[in-house]
Structure 1
């Protein structure tokens, strides 16, 4: 479900008439294993998930998996080194061309045998994998360790044929999990659970967001009630410090000095922690698009929707949740604050849409997308540049009031106040509004090619062409 682009790329790599060395990585529960297995469907594959055991135990287990696919063999029984395993499979690939060997949780193997990357290098350079187009897939959740495999100083540098980092799924991909949800329900669900496939698979499409939230996050036995804590504990040392940094950002401390003041930490000591959170795509460091690239006025924002929701609503109500009052927490603490919460979440989703899908609206994709802030008189929610050199500016409104002409005029004025895009005659104005726009704005957008009204339905489900076809047939 979802991941069509990544799935297509992997299938193409597996179908290529050559050997392959694929490195796939991403944080836990992001869907790496499922994607790799789906890409290998119908192909000869040996899938092995390593464990945190001694090397001898993993060796015995992989030999069992090999025998299950290739049948038992006295030669296989006598193998006791990883290099021998690889050569055995290279010989097997001559009979089964394109044989795939997937080593999941590869860092576990390396932690017990640090020579393994060098062994793989020697095997790859020997030319044996090319004889039967053997496909080697190295997969892991330890992002820093997996990236380290590709670093220039390490044995496998320059040998990969494909690297794939899996991140959270987009709003449109998440829609496949909730076919009965309206666009507005889908936006709220995405802002609550984010784009991690495991979290979404726990949701029930047959119940509303309220009950999914209560069942998964607001119940003492809910499978996600401790997920933010568990994620940090599994990925990082000192999870308490990382959690405190995330809490500070969630509560509005967005720059380095304010986070430091809140936690009583120096800005220098904070940077390594923030860097690791950025690497996990939990936190992002952003600057205003009209700021000097060398300027230090950067903000830190939460990239992970579930993490943000948890710190806004769950953490402060854990006592009531553990006491069994999850539904009351939703009705009294969450329902009243959801509109404000959705305001900033909506901006984040609109920014992602602008980065990935703006070509549907403007006819050419964005080359960069961000926001403009730090001015005494104005901010601009969405701004960016397209590949043809045009600039765009957008306003995001998650309110019951339709977007009116005064709001559009204010957006135009602000676009003239910023030096970003200054002097460029080709400018577009994007209106992202939950409640649509007034009639005068709608009429203006019909005659002014620079004004674009973008609906929740377009963002969540379809291209503009699909939406127009649906509207014309109704």
Structure 2
């Protein structure tokens, strides 16, 4: 079975995903093998799979939304005929079993790899739910040599449909060797994709759009290169109803992807409540004047789609904190929807100026904290020499002061299990996006938290104290970092890898 060529240069990042797909194709087994690729819309699934298909000479088939069964059968048949090199109209296939069998026979006879990609499978399943059953039949028959072999990749953006393909008693359960969920770009790759020099501007673009690569083509004109340009760019893109990236339309588009989201008003309300700070089902229900039990199902749906995230406290078992995970939806719920009338009257500049406090406190601040945790997970080992285990956040009780301390970035020692007693802690961090530089008082606060953790039985004496600051550091903090091995300072340049983190003696 031939493998892939080198990753195409136009495909940014995706090294891990390309390697997995390469191994999928290079498997020498002659029997049929299946792979599932899913992910949020705009994350580049089709771009990746089209590059894959082109690299190996496979057959790429894509479904069309709201296309009927008969037109879809006809269009797929024509694509199979073209791949086989026979005249249009020379093949007649009347059901999906015939289409899938013919496709496998054609790719096995062609010169390229015997690969079939079926993109946007959920659109097909709206009118042809029998397709997974036919794939099961072909798979099982192929294992005994009674049907063609080859490789089939099934792809889709409707996360609930794709995740259920391999669940419970579904036909394809136990039959896929890959279940690949394609994420958005990380914040550093997104900066490269947008071509933004200033890391502070790249962070702000990431805070409102995230790393979905598909947004770059929808944002007309050059990317912002300064904070002033960013302030002009936001009203022209996210707050202009005439633009493709208008956040209200994009949020509706994303929510329509999941067939379970039928009452969008309820889901909008839930998203808005979480964006405004309701972090548990009870708090969401209270804000919407609904019972807690009525919130459980919508929250589960929004979490499974990736639009909400549940974050567990690393040290204590308590209710997980629910946050909005998708930056576009967060921006829409906090900025666009509350002032939708003004936005629709083309007053985006005025809306943006009046929404700046909300943006800084509820969008940029939390996003900076999440980015600091991502740095700890992905880059702290190579760039600061820190071996970290689980990374997250925690709330630390301070009985003497009758208060609690929120720890933005907490890292356990490698191998430690979260929420276990007496865990080893390797990093305690605070992330601040406020305009003031951070100083020695912030380090003293982290020292106090470190002593509280030790008093609660955790092994924290050697934990590094990390300050993440969007606006730099006072000289007293820089001097302490030069002298001490237990202090690490990460400004915006270090966060993006332009300069090294400072500290640790």
User: Structure 2 residue aligned with 1:397, among 419, 423, 432?
Assistant: 432
Matched, 1:4 2:25: no
Q: Matches of 1:327 and 1:74 in 2, distance apart?
A: 53
Cα 1:338–1:151 shift into 2, 3 Å: closer
What RMSD over aligned residues (CA atoms) do the two structures have, in Å?
2.7
Distance, in Å, in 2 between the alignment partners of 1:333 and 1:61 is: 51
> Paired residue for 2:452?
417
- Find the aligned partners of 1:258 and 1:425 in 2 and give their Cα distance: 36
Task: Say which SS state the counterpart of residue 76 (structure 2) adopts.
Answer: helix
Tell me the residue number matched to 2:422.
none
Q: Distance in 1 between matches of 2:309 and 2:172?
A: 29
2:371 aligns with one of 343, 346, 349:
349
The aligned residue for residue 496 of structure 2 is 460
User: 1:109 Cα deviation (Å)?
Assistant: 2.4
Q: Unaligned stretches of 5+ in structure 2?
A: 1-11, 398-402, 417-424
Q: CA deviation at 1:126?
A: 2.2
Question: What's the offset of the Cα at 1:98?
Answer: 1.9
CA distances 1:60-99 after superposition (whole Å, capped 9, x unpaired): 1111111222212699614323333333333331443522
Q: Deviations over 1:185-210 (max 9, x none)?
A: 01111111112222233234344322
1:45 aligns with 2:58: yes
| Helix, strand or coil at the partner of 1:403 | coil
What's the CA shift for 1:362? 4.5
| Worse overlay, 308-317 or 179-188 | 308-317
Q: State how far apart, in whole Å, the 2-side matches of 1:461 and 1:37 are.
A: 31
Give the 3 Å change call, closer, same or farther, for CA 374–266 of structure 1 in structure 2.
farther
Q: How far apart are residue 258 of structure 1 and its match? A: 1.9
Pair 1:254-2:265 in alignment: no
SS at match of 1:384: strand
CA apart distance, 1:164:
0.8
Equivalent residues in 2 for 1:259-270 (5 A)?
A: 259-270=284-295
Partner of 1:64: helix, strand, or coil?
Answer: helix
Deviation at 1:245, TM superposition (A): 0.8
Establish whether residue 446 from structure 1 lines up as the match of residue 457 from structure 2: no
Residue 378 (structure 1) aligned with residue 414 (structure 2): no
Which residue of structure 2 aligns with residue 85 of structure 1? 99
Q: Residue 452 of structure 1: CA displacement?
A: 1.5
Deviations, residues 391-442 of structure 1 (Å, cap 9, x unaligned): 2111001123222112111112112324787134441222111122233322
Instruction: Assess, with a 3 A threshold, how the Cα gap between structure 1 residues 121 and 463 changes in structure 2: closer, same or farther.
Output: farther
1:57 matched to 2:93? The reply is no
Contact 1:366 1:386 in 2 (8 A): yes
**Pair 258,74 (structure 1): closer, same or farther in 2 beyond 3 Å:** closer
Distance 1:158 1:377, change over 3 A: closer
Counterparts of 2:379 and 2:218, CA distance in 1: 28
Q: Which residue number corresponds to residue 23 of structure 1? A: 36
Q: Which moved more, 1:416-425 or 1:319-328?
A: 416-425
The reply on whether 1:103 has 2:118 as its aligned counterpart is yes
1:273 to 298, 301, 305: 298
CA deviation after TM superposition for structure 1 residue 287, in Å: 2.9
Counterpart residue number, 2:136: 121
Q: Match for residue 434 of structure 1?
A: 470
Task: Give the Å deviation of 1:337.
Answer: 4.4
Alpha-carbon distance change, 252 to 90 in structure 1, aligned in 2, over 3 angstroms: closer
- The one-character-per-residue Cα deviations of 1:201-251 (angstroms, maximum 9, x if unpaired) are 323434432233122122231223222133223422111001001111122
Instruction: Say which is worse superposed, 258-267 or 229-238, in terms of deviation.
Output: 229-238
**SS of structure 2 residue aligned to 1:48:** strand
Distance in structure 2 (CA, Å) of the matches to 1:74 and 1:338? 55
- Quick one: higher RCO (CA 8 Å, sep 6+), 1 or 2? 1
Matched-pair contact (CA < 8 Å) for 2:43–2:214: yes
Q: Distance in 2 between matches of 1:132 and 1:233?
A: 36
CA contact (8 A) 1:287 1:299 kept: yes
1:145 to 154, 158, 161: 161
Any idea what SS the aligned residue of 1:377 has? Answer: strand
2:441 corresponds to which residue?
Answer: 406
Equivalent position to 1:219, from 240, 248, 268:
240
For 1:57 and 1:124, how far apart are their aligned partners in 2? 26
1:232–1:243 Cα contact (<8 Å) kept: no
Q: Please, which runs of 5 or more residues in structure 1 have no aligned partner?
A: 469-474
- Closer/same/farther in 2, CA of residues 463 and 91 from structure 1, 3 Å limit: farther
CA separation of 1:81/1:377 partners in 2, compared to 1, >3 Å: closer, same or farther?
A: closer
How far residue 336 of structure 1 moved from its aligned partner, in angstroms, is 4.7
Is 63-72 or 17-26 further displaced after alignment? Answer: 17-26
What TM-score, normalized by structure 2, do the two folds share? Answer: 0.84
The count of aligned residue pairs is 462
Structure 1 window deviating more from structure 2 (110-119 vs 153-162): it is 110-119
Matched, 1:198 2:214: yes
